[in-house]
């Protein structure tokens, strides 16, 4: 009597294990993420369809300020959408890998945002992404003014006035904010410009 036996065989299937970052690589990822999150400028990363993939803390705050009428967290401002579309359209007539398109969003008299959009091409990714930076121009000018206070040897009151002036405040607005007269503002500005001119002459 012959007995037939059937041996179960397991198919030779290679299972790909997910790539696990080693400790140094993981620390590098955390490091760059922390850098992006602490930037003063807003950083957005969008895919080609305009879907928001990442926004740092500054970008979330700015977008919330710009999108007060739209409660959707991933709503992208029309100016940003237009710049992204222009970058896509420009593919047909230029090698735009290094092309940076920019525009401004005027929120109010003292708040103007500079928007810059460029391609973000990563070797590890199959498709390109948009890198969007959002700069609060008035805040940047105020930061410059803070550095100029010591450079021009300004008094505390002159420093206040110069910072507001750099932030696009008019003489009248400065006077109202600091509870002084417009003539007092003009007097301080005259002294500031004299100190600034004296500094520039020493640099020649």
- Which of 40, 57, 115, 125 is closest to 84 using CA atoms? 115
pLDDT at 157 over 70: yes
Same domain, 121 and 156: no
Q: What is the DSSP string of 138-189?
A: HHHHHHHHHHHHHHTT--HHHHHHHHHHHTT--HHHHHHHHT--HHHHHHHH
Taking the CA atoms of the chain, what radius of gyration do you get in angstroms? 27
Higher pLDDT pick, 108 / 87: 87
Q: What is the pLDDT of residues 30-73, one digit of tens each?
A: 777 787 888 889 999 999 888 998 899 899 988 888 886 665 66
Give the other-Cβ count within 10 Å of 69's Cβ. 6
Contact at 8 Å (CB) between 83 and 103? yes
Question: Containing domain of residue 193, as a range?
Answer: 152-202
Q: Is residue 11 part of a domain?
A: no
Domains held by the chain: number:
2
Dihedral angle over CA of 61, 63, 161, 165, nearest 10: 160
Q: What is the pLDDT of residues 77-98, one digit of tens each?
A: 899 999 999 988 887 777 656 7
Q: Is residue 44 part of a domain?
A: yes
Q: Is residue 146 part of a domain?
A: no
Same domain, 115 and 63: yes
Higher pLDDT pick, 64 / 28: 64
Q: What is the pLDDT at residue 43?
A: 93
Same domain, 126 and 185: no
Q: What is the pLDDT of residues 136-156, one digit of tens each?
A: 988 888 888 988 999 999 999
pLDDT band at 198 (very low <50, low <70, confident <90, very high): very high
Q: Report the SS3 class of residue 126.
A: coil
Same domain, 133 and 159: no
Same domain, 49 and 119: yes
């Amino acid at each position: 009597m012959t007995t037939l036996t059937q041996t179960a065989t397991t198919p030779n299937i290679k299972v790909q294990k997910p790539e696990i970052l080693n400790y140094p690589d993981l620390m590098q990822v955390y490091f760059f993420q922390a850098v992006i999150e602490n930037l003063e400028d807003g950083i957005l990363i969008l895919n080609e369809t305009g879907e928001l993939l990442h926004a740092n803390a500054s970008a979330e705050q700015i977008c919330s300020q710009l999108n007060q009428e739209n409660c959707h967290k991933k709503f992208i401002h029309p100016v940003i959408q237009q710049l992204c579309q222009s970058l896509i359209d420009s593919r047909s007539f230029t090698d735009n890998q290094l092309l940076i398109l920019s525009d401004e969003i005027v929120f109010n008299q003292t708040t103007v945002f500079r928007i810059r959009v460029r391609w973000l091409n990563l070797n590890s990714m199959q498709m390109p992404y948009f890198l969007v930076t959002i700069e609060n121009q008035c805040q940047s000018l105020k930061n410059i003014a803070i550095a100029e206070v010591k450079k021009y040897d300004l008094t505390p009151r002159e420093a206040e006035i110069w910072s507001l002036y750099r932030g696009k405040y008019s003489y009248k607005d400065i006077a109202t904010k600091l509870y002084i007269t417009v003539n007092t503002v003009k007097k301080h500005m005259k002294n500031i410009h004299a100190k600034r001119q004296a500094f520039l002459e020493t640099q020649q």
